Chains A and B, each alone.
Chain A
Protein backbone atom coordinates (compact mmCIF):
# COMPACT_ATOMS: atom_id res chain seq x y z
CA UNK A 1 0.00 0.00 0.00
CA UNK A 2 1.14 3.50 -0.77
CA UNK A 3 1.91 5.66 2.19
CA UNK A 4 1.92 9.44 2.23
CA UNK A 5 5.41 10.58 3.19
CA UNK A 6 6.30 13.95 4.64
CA UNK A 7 9.65 15.00 3.23
CA UNK A 8 9.92 18.69 4.02
CA UNK A 9 8.72 21.15 6.62
CA UNK A 10 8.68 24.92 6.92
CA UNK A 11 7.66 26.98 9.90
CA UNK A 12 7.00 30.59 10.76
CA UNK A 13 5.97 30.82 14.40
CA UNK A 14 6.32 32.99 17.48
CA UNK A 15 8.84 30.42 18.74
CA UNK A 16 11.05 30.64 15.67
CA UNK A 17 11.09 31.27 11.95
CA UNK A 18 12.89 28.13 10.95
CA UNK A 19 12.74 24.58 12.21
CA UNK A 20 16.10 24.60 14.02
CA UNK A 21 15.28 27.69 16.10
CA UNK A 22 11.74 26.52 16.66
CA UNK A 23 12.87 23.18 18.01
CA UNK A 24 15.66 24.60 20.16
CA UNK A 25 13.26 27.09 21.72
CA UNK A 26 10.53 24.57 22.41
CA UNK A 27 12.97 22.09 23.92
CA UNK A 28 13.74 24.71 26.55
CA UNK A 29 10.06 24.89 27.50
CA UNK A 30 9.96 28.68 27.28
CA UNK A 31 6.92 30.83 26.66
CA UNK A 32 6.75 33.08 23.61
CA UNK A 33 3.49 34.72 24.53
CA UNK A 34 3.63 38.45 25.14
CA UNK A 35 1.63 41.65 25.25
CA UNK A 36 0.37 42.69 21.84
CA UNK A 37 2.66 45.39 20.47
CA UNK A 38 1.47 45.78 16.86
CA UNK A 39 -1.33 48.16 17.83
CA UNK A 40 -2.94 49.57 20.93
CA UNK A 41 -4.86 46.61 22.32
CA UNK A 42 -5.34 48.04 25.80
CA UNK A 43 -9.14 47.98 25.63
CA UNK A 44 -9.47 44.35 24.60
CA UNK A 45 -10.37 41.81 27.31
CA UNK A 46 -7.57 39.54 26.04
CA UNK A 47 -4.55 41.49 24.75
CA UNK A 48 -1.75 38.96 24.71
CA UNK A 49 -0.59 36.77 21.82
CA UNK A 50 2.19 34.83 20.19
CA UNK A 51 3.48 37.29 17.58
CA UNK A 52 5.89 37.23 14.64
CA UNK A 53 8.32 40.11 14.87
CA UNK A 54 11.08 39.54 12.35
CA UNK A 55 9.60 38.13 9.20
CA UNK A 56 11.34 40.75 7.07
CA UNK A 57 14.70 39.35 8.17
CA UNK A 58 13.78 35.89 6.95
CA UNK A 59 11.86 36.72 3.83
CA UNK A 60 12.91 35.91 0.28
CA UNK A 61 10.18 38.08 -1.25
CA UNK A 62 10.60 41.42 -3.00
CA UNK A 63 9.10 44.56 -1.51
CA UNK A 64 7.06 44.78 -4.68
CA UNK A 65 5.29 41.54 -3.79
CA UNK A 66 5.16 42.10 -0.01
CA UNK A 67 3.13 45.27 -0.33
CA UNK A 68 0.48 43.48 -2.42
CA UNK A 69 -0.21 40.70 0.08
CA UNK A 70 -1.41 40.32 3.65
CA UNK A 71 0.97 39.10 6.33
CA UNK A 72 -0.77 35.71 6.37
CA UNK A 73 0.25 35.13 2.73
CA UNK A 74 3.72 36.42 3.50
CA UNK A 75 4.12 33.92 6.34
CA UNK A 76 2.79 31.09 4.17
CA UNK A 77 5.21 31.95 1.35
CA UNK A 78 8.18 31.99 3.73
CA UNK A 79 7.13 28.65 5.25
CA UNK A 80 6.60 27.18 1.77
CA UNK A 81 10.08 28.20 0.64
CA UNK A 82 11.60 26.53 3.71
CA UNK A 83 9.58 23.36 3.10
CA UNK A 84 10.54 23.20 -0.58
CA UNK A 85 14.23 23.60 0.28
CA UNK A 86 13.95 21.10 3.13
CA UNK A 87 12.43 18.50 0.78
CA UNK A 88 15.09 19.33 -1.82
CA UNK A 89 12.43 19.74 -4.48
CA UNK A 90 14.04 20.67 -7.78
CA UNK A 91 11.47 23.07 -9.16
CA UNK A 92 13.07 22.94 -12.60
CA UNK A 93 12.65 19.23 -13.04
CA UNK A 94 9.27 18.42 -11.48
CA UNK A 95 5.99 18.57 -13.39
CA UNK A 96 4.34 21.66 -11.92
CA UNK A 97 0.98 20.56 -13.30
CA UNK A 98 1.08 17.87 -10.63
CA UNK A 99 1.96 20.00 -7.62
CA UNK A 100 -1.00 21.07 -5.48
CA UNK A 101 -1.35 23.42 -2.52
CA UNK A 102 -3.77 22.63 0.35
CA UNK A 103 -3.97 25.22 3.07
CA UNK A 104 -6.15 25.84 6.10
CA UNK A 105 -7.19 29.20 7.45
CA UNK A 106 -9.98 30.43 9.71
CA UNK A 107 -10.02 34.22 9.58
CA UNK A 108 -8.55 35.68 6.38
CA UNK A 109 -6.06 38.52 6.03
CA UNK A 110 -7.39 41.37 8.13
CA UNK A 111 -4.28 43.45 8.60
CA UNK A 112 -4.40 44.39 4.94
CA UNK A 113 -8.17 44.60 4.75
CA UNK A 114 -8.70 46.79 7.80
CA UNK A 115 -6.23 49.43 6.64
CA UNK A 116 -7.64 49.54 3.14
CA UNK A 117 -11.27 49.70 4.23
CA UNK A 118 -10.43 52.56 6.54
CA UNK A 119 -8.76 54.40 3.63
CA UNK A 120 -11.77 53.75 1.44
CA UNK A 121 -14.11 55.36 3.93
CA UNK A 122 -11.78 58.32 4.40
CA UNK A 123 -10.56 58.92 0.83
CA UNK A 124 -13.35 57.39 -1.22
CA UNK A 125 -13.18 54.85 -4.01
CA UNK A 126 -9.62 55.65 -5.03
CA UNK A 127 -8.32 55.32 -1.48
CA UNK A 128 -8.48 51.55 -1.57
CA UNK A 129 -5.61 49.48 -2.88
CA UNK A 130 -6.37 47.45 -6.01
CA UNK A 131 -4.70 44.53 -4.22
CA UNK A 132 -7.42 44.45 -1.60
CA UNK A 133 -9.51 42.10 -3.73
CA UNK A 134 -6.78 39.49 -3.90
CA UNK A 135 -5.18 40.01 -0.49
CA UNK A 136 -7.74 39.40 2.22
CA UNK A 137 -9.66 36.20 1.53
CA UNK A 138 -8.72 32.85 3.13
CA UNK A 139 -7.60 31.27 -0.17
CA UNK A 140 -5.26 34.19 -0.98
CA UNK A 141 -2.12 32.43 0.37
CA UNK A 142 -2.88 29.33 -1.68
CA UNK A 143 -3.16 31.56 -4.75
CA UNK A 144 0.04 33.43 -3.95
CA UNK A 145 1.99 30.19 -3.44
CA UNK A 146 0.77 28.69 -6.72
CA UNK A 147 1.51 31.92 -8.62
CA UNK A 148 4.92 32.40 -7.01
CA UNK A 149 6.14 28.91 -7.92
CA UNK A 150 3.97 28.30 -10.98
CA UNK A 151 2.25 25.26 -9.41
CA UNK A 152 -0.77 24.30 -11.45
CA UNK A 153 -2.04 21.11 -9.81
CA UNK A 154 -5.39 20.59 -8.08
CA UNK A 155 -5.39 22.84 -5.00
CA UNK A 156 -7.80 23.88 -2.28
CA UNK A 157 -8.14 26.01 0.86
CA UNK A 158 -10.15 24.68 3.77
CA UNK A 159 -11.95 26.94 6.24
CA UNK A 160 -13.10 25.02 9.31
CA UNK A 161 -12.13 27.14 12.30
CA UNK A 162 -9.29 25.56 14.32
CA UNK A 163 -9.58 22.29 12.38
CA UNK A 164 -8.84 24.03 9.04
CA UNK A 165 -5.26 22.90 8.57
CA UNK A 166 -5.98 19.39 9.86
CA UNK A 167 -8.55 19.00 7.10
CA UNK A 168 -6.25 20.63 4.55
CA UNK A 169 -3.47 18.15 5.39
CA UNK A 170 -5.87 15.24 5.09
CA UNK A 171 -7.27 16.60 1.81
CA UNK A 172 -3.77 16.92 0.39
CA UNK A 173 -2.89 13.37 1.44
CA UNK A 174 -6.07 12.02 -0.15
CA UNK A 175 -5.40 13.77 -3.44
CA UNK A 176 -1.89 12.32 -3.44
CA UNK A 177 -3.14 8.78 -2.87
CA UNK A 178 -5.68 9.25 -5.66
CA UNK A 179 -2.68 10.15 -7.84
CA UNK A 180 -4.18 13.45 -8.92
CA UNK A 181 -0.92 15.15 -7.92
CA UNK A 182 2.66 14.05 -7.28
CA UNK A 183 3.62 16.64 -4.70
CA UNK A 184 1.53 18.53 -2.16
CA UNK A 185 2.33 21.60 -0.13
CA UNK A 186 -0.06 21.47 2.78
CA UNK A 187 -0.57 23.25 6.07
CA UNK A 188 -2.03 26.56 7.05
CA UNK A 189 -1.54 30.17 8.03
CA UNK A 190 -3.27 32.51 10.42
CA UNK A 191 -2.84 36.18 11.33
CA UNK A 192 -5.24 37.03 14.15
CA UNK A 193 -3.13 39.80 15.68
CA UNK A 194 -5.01 42.69 14.05
CA UNK A 195 -7.56 45.04 15.65
CA UNK A 196 -10.61 43.44 14.02
CA UNK A 197 -9.45 39.82 14.13
CA UNK A 198 -8.55 40.21 17.80
CA UNK A 199 -12.02 41.59 18.42
CA UNK A 200 -13.55 38.53 16.73
CA UNK A 201 -11.30 36.21 18.71
CA UNK A 202 -12.30 37.99 21.92
CA UNK A 203 -15.98 37.71 21.08
CA UNK A 204 -15.45 34.01 20.55
CA UNK A 205 -15.06 33.84 24.30
CA UNK A 206 -12.43 31.19 24.96
CA UNK A 207 -9.47 33.55 25.35
CA UNK A 208 -7.34 33.96 28.44
CA UNK A 209 -7.70 37.31 30.20
CA UNK A 210 -4.58 36.81 32.26
CA UNK A 211 -3.02 39.89 30.64
CA UNK A 212 -0.78 40.75 33.55
CA UNK A 213 1.18 37.55 33.16
CA UNK A 214 1.46 36.71 29.45
CA UNK A 215 4.10 33.99 29.86
CA UNK A 216 1.93 31.92 32.18
CA UNK A 217 -1.46 32.77 30.69
CA UNK A 218 -1.85 29.75 28.39
CA UNK A 219 -2.10 26.78 30.75
CA UNK A 220 -4.05 23.85 29.28
CA UNK A 221 -5.34 21.24 31.76
CA UNK A 222 -4.15 23.26 34.77
CA UNK A 223 -6.75 23.96 37.45
CA UNK A 224 -6.38 27.73 36.98
CA UNK A 225 -6.65 27.80 33.20
CA UNK A 226 -8.86 30.52 31.80
CA UNK A 227 -8.68 30.06 28.04
CA UNK A 228 -6.34 30.04 25.08
CA UNK A 229 -3.95 32.66 23.79
CA UNK A 230 -4.04 33.38 20.07
CA UNK A 231 -0.94 33.30 17.88
CA UNK A 232 0.06 34.03 14.32
CA UNK A 233 2.19 32.02 11.93
CA UNK A 234 2.28 29.36 9.28
CA UNK A 235 3.35 25.76 8.90
CA UNK A 236 3.85 23.95 5.60
CA UNK A 237 4.71 20.31 4.90
CA UNK A 238 5.65 18.65 1.63
CA UNK A 239 3.81 15.41 0.95
CA UNK A 240 4.68 12.80 -1.65
CA UNK A 241 4.01 9.12 -2.13
CA UNK A 242 6.44 6.93 -0.22
CA UNK A 243 7.70 5.18 -3.34
CA UNK A 244 8.54 8.53 -4.95
CA UNK A 245 10.37 9.72 -1.85
CA UNK A 246 12.40 6.50 -1.83
CA UNK A 247 13.21 6.95 -5.52
CA UNK A 248 14.40 10.50 -4.78
CA UNK A 249 16.45 9.16 -1.89
CA UNK A 250 15.15 11.86 0.40
CA UNK A 251 14.85 11.43 4.18
CA UNK A 252 11.26 10.90 5.33
CA UNK A 253 10.11 12.63 8.52
CA UNK A 254 7.03 10.50 8.86
CA UNK A 255 3.85 9.28 7.24
CA UNK A 256 0.26 10.43 7.34
CA UNK A 257 -1.39 7.12 8.03
CA UNK A 258 -5.01 7.98 8.53
CA UNK A 259 -7.70 10.33 9.65
CA UNK A 260 -10.90 10.29 11.63
CA UNK A 261 -13.47 13.02 11.65
CA UNK A 262 -16.87 13.86 13.00
CA UNK A 263 -19.11 16.76 13.86
CA UNK A 264 -20.83 17.20 17.19
CA UNK A 265 -24.04 18.24 15.40
CA UNK A 266 -25.04 20.15 18.47
CA UNK A 267 -24.55 23.93 18.34
CA UNK A 268 -23.10 26.49 15.90
CA UNK A 269 -20.33 27.55 18.26
CA UNK A 270 -20.20 25.30 21.30
CA UNK A 271 -19.02 21.71 21.58
CA UNK A 272 -21.41 19.10 22.84
CA UNK A 273 -20.88 18.04 26.46
CA UNK A 274 -21.36 14.53 25.19
CA UNK A 275 -17.94 13.42 23.93
CA UNK A 276 -19.15 10.60 21.70
CA UNK A 277 -18.42 12.47 18.46
CA UNK A 278 -14.83 13.24 19.45
CA UNK A 279 -14.36 9.64 20.61
CA UNK A 280 -15.71 8.44 17.27
CA UNK A 281 -13.17 10.60 15.42
CA UNK A 282 -10.31 9.20 17.53
CA UNK A 283 -11.49 5.60 16.99
CA UNK A 284 -11.81 6.19 13.26
CA UNK A 285 -8.32 7.69 13.07
CA UNK A 286 -6.92 4.61 14.84
CA UNK A 287 -8.79 2.30 12.47
CA UNK A 288 -7.88 4.25 9.32
CA UNK A 289 -4.22 4.39 10.40
CA UNK A 290 -4.22 0.71 11.33
CA UNK A 291 -2.95 1.63 14.80
CA UNK A 292 -3.89 -0.40 17.86
CA UNK A 293 -4.42 1.50 21.10
CA UNK A 294 -1.50 -0.14 22.88
CA UNK A 295 0.89 0.95 20.13
CA UNK A 296 0.29 4.70 20.39
CA UNK A 297 3.26 6.53 21.88
CA UNK A 298 2.19 10.14 21.72
CA UNK A 299 -0.91 12.29 21.34
CA UNK A 300 -0.51 15.94 20.42
CA UNK A 301 -3.51 17.42 22.19
CA UNK A 302 -5.95 20.09 21.12
CA UNK A 303 -5.34 21.88 24.44
CA UNK A 304 -7.59 24.89 24.05
CA UNK A 305 -7.03 25.77 27.69
CA UNK A 306 -10.64 26.62 28.50
CA UNK A 307 -12.38 24.95 31.41
CA UNK A 308 -14.88 22.99 29.34
CA UNK A 309 -12.86 22.15 26.22
CA UNK A 310 -9.96 20.60 28.14
CA UNK A 311 -12.33 18.65 30.34
CA UNK A 312 -14.13 17.21 27.32
CA UNK A 313 -10.90 16.34 25.54
CA UNK A 314 -9.52 14.59 28.64
CA UNK A 315 -12.77 12.68 29.06
CA UNK A 316 -12.82 11.53 25.44
CA UNK A 317 -9.20 10.34 25.55
CA UNK A 318 -9.82 8.43 28.76
CA UNK A 319 -12.93 6.82 27.34
CA UNK A 320 -11.17 5.73 24.15
CA UNK A 321 -7.85 4.54 25.57
CA UNK A 322 -8.83 3.34 29.05
CA UNK A 323 -6.07 1.22 30.53
CA UNK A 324 -3.71 1.97 27.65
CA UNK A 325 -3.62 5.68 28.40
CA UNK A 326 -0.97 5.38 31.11
CA UNK A 327 1.54 4.25 28.47
CA UNK A 328 0.84 7.14 26.11
CA UNK A 329 2.59 10.51 26.36
CA UNK A 330 0.26 13.46 25.97
CA UNK A 331 1.07 17.14 25.58
CA UNK A 332 -0.01 20.50 24.21
CA UNK A 333 3.24 22.24 23.22
CA UNK A 334 1.17 25.12 21.84
CA UNK A 335 1.02 26.33 25.46
CA UNK A 336 4.48 27.78 24.75
CA UNK A 337 3.59 30.05 21.86
CA UNK A 338 -0.20 30.26 21.56
CA UNK A 339 -2.92 28.78 19.43
CA UNK A 340 -2.58 29.43 15.72
CA UNK A 341 -6.27 28.67 15.15
CA UNK A 342 -6.73 27.56 11.51
CA UNK A 343 -3.00 26.91 11.19
CA UNK A 344 -2.51 25.09 14.48
CA UNK A 345 -2.58 21.49 13.24
CA UNK A 346 0.09 22.29 10.67
CA UNK A 347 2.32 23.37 13.56
CA UNK A 348 1.25 20.35 15.63
CA UNK A 349 2.21 18.09 12.72
CA UNK A 350 5.66 19.68 12.54
CA UNK A 351 6.03 19.37 16.33
CA UNK A 352 5.06 15.69 16.17
CA UNK A 353 7.54 14.99 13.36
CA UNK A 354 10.40 16.80 15.12
CA UNK A 355 9.53 14.98 18.34
CA UNK A 356 9.78 11.68 16.47
CA UNK A 357 13.09 12.72 14.94
CA UNK A 358 14.54 13.78 18.30
CA UNK A 359 12.97 11.09 20.52
CA UNK A 360 11.59 13.79 22.74
CA UNK A 361 8.08 14.64 23.92
CA UNK A 362 7.64 18.39 24.31
CA UNK A 363 5.82 19.53 27.43
CA UNK A 364 2.64 21.42 28.25
CA UNK A 365 3.96 24.44 30.12
CA UNK A 366 2.42 26.41 32.99
CA UNK A 367 0.95 23.29 34.51
CA UNK A 368 0.88 23.67 38.28
CA UNK A 369 -2.30 22.35 39.88
CA UNK A 370 -4.16 19.25 38.92
CA UNK A 371 -7.82 19.67 37.94
CA UNK A 372 -9.75 16.62 39.20
CA UNK A 373 -12.04 16.87 36.14
CA UNK A 374 -9.10 16.94 33.80
CA UNK A 375 -6.58 14.62 35.40
CA UNK A 376 -4.45 13.50 32.50
CA UNK A 377 -0.67 13.40 32.47
CA UNK A 378 0.03 16.18 29.98
CA UNK A 379 3.85 16.03 30.26
CA UNK A 380 3.97 19.06 32.53
CA UNK A 381 6.65 21.73 32.15
CA UNK A 382 9.61 19.58 31.10
CA UNK A 383 10.21 17.52 27.99
CA UNK A 384 10.73 13.80 28.37
CA UNK A 385 12.87 11.40 26.37
CA UNK A 386 10.78 8.91 24.47
CA UNK A 387 10.94 7.11 21.18
CA UNK A 388 7.77 7.85 19.23
CA UNK A 389 6.72 5.40 16.53
CA UNK A 390 3.04 6.27 16.25
CA UNK A 391 1.19 9.41 17.19
CA UNK A 392 -2.20 11.05 16.95
CA UNK A 393 -2.92 14.75 16.55
CA UNK A 394 -6.26 15.99 17.84
CA UNK A 395 -7.80 19.09 16.32
CA UNK A 396 -11.17 20.58 17.22
CA UNK A 397 -12.90 23.48 15.55
CA UNK A 398 -15.61 25.70 16.95
CA UNK A 399 -19.02 24.10 17.11
CA UNK A 400 -17.58 20.60 17.35
CA UNK A 401 -15.56 19.93 14.21
CA UNK A 402 -13.40 16.97 15.22
CA UNK A 403 -10.39 15.89 13.18
CA UNK A 404 -7.77 13.39 14.30
CA UNK A 405 -4.67 12.55 12.25
CA UNK A 406 -2.62 9.35 12.60
CA UNK A 407 1.14 9.88 12.09
CA UNK A 408 3.85 7.22 11.83
CA UNK A 409 7.58 7.76 12.21
CA UNK A 410 9.68 7.85 9.03
Chain B
Protein backbone atom coordinates (compact mmCIF):
# COMPACT_ATOMS: atom_id res chain seq x y z
CA UNK B 1 0.00 0.00 0.00
CA UNK B 2 1.21 3.51 -0.74
CA UNK B 3 0.22 6.30 1.56
CA UNK B 4 -1.51 9.49 0.54
CA UNK B 5 1.46 11.42 1.78
CA UNK B 6 3.87 9.56 -0.49
CA UNK B 7 1.70 10.21 -3.55
CA UNK B 8 1.13 13.85 -2.68
CA UNK B 9 4.89 14.33 -2.29
CA UNK B 10 5.39 13.23 -5.89
CA UNK B 11 2.56 15.45 -7.12
CA UNK B 12 3.99 18.44 -5.23
CA UNK B 13 7.49 17.80 -6.56
CA UNK B 14 6.47 17.39 -10.18
CA UNK B 15 4.11 20.37 -10.21
CA UNK B 16 6.44 22.54 -8.14
CA UNK B 17 3.74 23.37 -5.64
CA UNK B 18 3.62 23.24 -1.87
CA UNK B 19 2.13 20.02 -0.55
CA UNK B 20 -0.36 22.12 1.41
CA UNK B 21 -1.82 23.39 -1.85
CA UNK B 22 -2.94 19.92 -2.84
CA UNK B 23 -6.67 19.50 -2.29
CA UNK B 24 -7.31 15.79 -2.24
CA UNK B 25 -10.94 15.81 -3.29
CA UNK B 26 -10.61 18.47 -6.01
CA UNK B 27 -9.79 17.71 -9.61
CA UNK B 28 -6.15 18.60 -10.36
CA UNK B 29 -7.31 20.77 -13.24
CA UNK B 30 -9.61 22.82 -10.99
CA UNK B 31 -7.32 23.14 -7.98
CA UNK B 32 -3.90 23.53 -9.58
CA UNK B 33 -4.62 24.29 -13.23
CA UNK B 34 -2.83 21.14 -14.34
CA UNK B 35 -2.72 20.62 -18.09
CA UNK B 36 -2.41 17.46 -20.14
CA UNK B 37 1.36 17.77 -20.65
CA UNK B 38 1.91 18.05 -16.92
CA UNK B 39 -0.27 14.97 -16.49
CA UNK B 40 2.03 13.00 -18.79
CA UNK B 41 4.99 14.01 -16.64
CA UNK B 42 3.10 13.19 -13.45
CA UNK B 43 1.94 9.79 -14.73
CA UNK B 44 5.50 8.80 -15.65
CA UNK B 45 6.85 10.00 -12.31
CA UNK B 46 4.18 8.11 -10.33
CA UNK B 47 4.74 4.95 -12.36
CA UNK B 48 8.46 5.05 -11.67
CA UNK B 49 8.15 5.96 -8.01
CA UNK B 50 5.61 3.27 -7.11
CA UNK B 51 6.61 0.63 -9.66
CA UNK B 52 3.17 0.36 -11.23
CA UNK B 53 2.15 0.67 -14.83
CA UNK B 54 -0.03 3.74 -15.13
CA UNK B 55 -1.43 4.97 -18.37
CA UNK B 56 -2.23 8.58 -19.23
CA UNK B 57 -5.67 7.33 -20.26
CA UNK B 58 -6.29 6.16 -16.70
CA UNK B 59 -5.32 9.37 -14.93
CA UNK B 60 -6.54 12.54 -16.52
CA UNK B 61 -6.26 16.11 -15.32
CA UNK B 62 -9.82 15.68 -14.09
CA UNK B 63 -8.75 13.09 -11.51
CA UNK B 64 -8.51 14.04 -7.85
CA UNK B 65 -5.37 13.24 -5.80
CA UNK B 66 -7.44 10.78 -3.74
CA UNK B 67 -8.54 8.94 -6.88
CA UNK B 68 -4.90 8.71 -7.96
CA UNK B 69 -3.91 7.16 -4.60
CA UNK B 70 -6.76 4.64 -4.94
CA UNK B 71 -5.76 3.74 -8.48
CA UNK B 72 -2.12 3.17 -7.54
CA UNK B 73 -3.11 0.94 -4.64
CA UNK B 74 -5.56 -1.01 -6.78
CA UNK B 75 -2.80 -1.59 -9.34
CA UNK B 76 -0.38 -2.68 -6.67
CA UNK B 77 -2.81 -5.34 -5.47
CA UNK B 78 -3.29 -6.80 -8.96
Chain A residues at the B interface, C-beta cutoff of 8 Å: 62-64, 67-68, 126, 129-131, 133-134
* Alpha-carbon distance between A395 and B59 when the two chains are bound, in angstroms: 50
Is B25 positioned at the interface, with any CB of A under 8 Å from its CB?
Answer: no
Q: Which of A63, A68, A129, A130 has the most CB of B within 10 A?
A: A130
* Alpha-carbon distance between A130 and B40 when the two chains are bound, in angstroms: 6
* Alpha-carbon distance between A136 and B14 when the two chains are bound, in angstroms: 20
Are B41's CB and A131's CB within 8 A?
yes
Are A68's CB and B15's CB within 8 A?
no
- State the Cβ distance, B34 to closest chain A Cβ, in Å: 10
Are A129's CB and B41's CB within 8 A?
yes
* Alpha-carbon distance between A317 and B60 when the two chains are bound, in angstroms: 60
Contact partner of A130 among B16, B17, B41, CB < 8 A? Answer: B41
Contacts of A129 in B (CB 8 A): 41
- Write out, one digit per residue, whether chain B residues 29-64 have a CB within 8 A of any chain A CB (1) or not (0): 000000001101100100010000000000000000
Are A62's CB and B16's CB within 8 A?
yes
9 contacts between A and B (CB under 8 A): A63-B16, A64-B16, A64-B17, A68-B38, A126-B44, A129-B41, A130-B44, A131-B37, A131-B41
Are A64's CB and B15's CB within 8 A?
yes
Q: How large is the interface on B (under 10, 10 to 19, 20 to 34, 35 or more residues)?
A: under 10
* Alpha-carbon distance between A67 and B45 when the two chains are bound, in angstroms: 15
Question: Which of chain A's residues has its CB closest to B48's CB?
Answer: A126
Contacts of A126 in B (CB 8 A): 44, 48
Contacts of B44 in A (CB 8 A): 126, 130
* Alpha-carbon distance between A92 and B49 when the two chains are bound, in angstroms: 42
- State the Cβ distance, B73 to closest chain A Cβ, in Å: 22
Question: Which of chain A's residues has its CB closest to B41's CB?
Answer: A130
* Alpha-carbon distance between A63 and B15 when the two chains are bound, in angstroms: 9
Question: Which of chain A's residues has its CB closest to B33's CB?
Answer: A64
Contacts of B15 in A (CB 8 A): 64
Contacts of B40 in A (CB 8 A): 130
* Alpha-carbon distance between A68 and B48 when the two chains are bound, in angstroms: 20
- State the Cβ distance, A319 to closest chain B Cβ, in Å: 53
* Alpha-carbon distance between A67 and B38 when the two chains are bound, in angstroms: 11
Contacts of B41 in A (CB 8 A): 129-131
* Alpha-carbon distance between A131 and B38 when the two chains are bound, in angstroms: 8
- State the Cβ distance, A146 to closest chain B Cβ, in Å: 15
Contacts of A63 in B (CB 8 A): 16
- State the Cβ distance, A133 to closest chain B Cβ, in Å: 8
* Alpha-carbon distance between A62 and B38 when the two chains are bound, in angstroms: 14
* Alpha-carbon distance between A130 and B43 when the two chains are bound, in angstroms: 11
Contacts of B38 in A (CB 8 A): 68, 130
* Alpha-carbon distance between A129 and B37 when the two chains are bound, in angstroms: 9
Closest CB pairs A-B (n = 7): A64-B16, A130-B40, A63-B16, A130-B37, A130-B41, A126-B44, A131-B37
Are A67's CB and B37's CB within 8 A?
no
- State the Cβ distance, B17 to closest chain A Cβ, in Å: 7
- B2-26, CB < 8 A from A: 15-17
Contacts of A130 in B (CB 8 A): 37-38, 40-41, 44
Question: Which of chain B's residues has its CB closest to A127's CB?
Answer: B44
* Alpha-carbon distance between A131 and B16 when the two chains are bound, in angstroms: 15
- State the Cβ distance, A44 to closest chain B Cβ, in Å: 33
* Alpha-carbon distance between A130 and B44 when the two chains are bound, in angstroms: 10
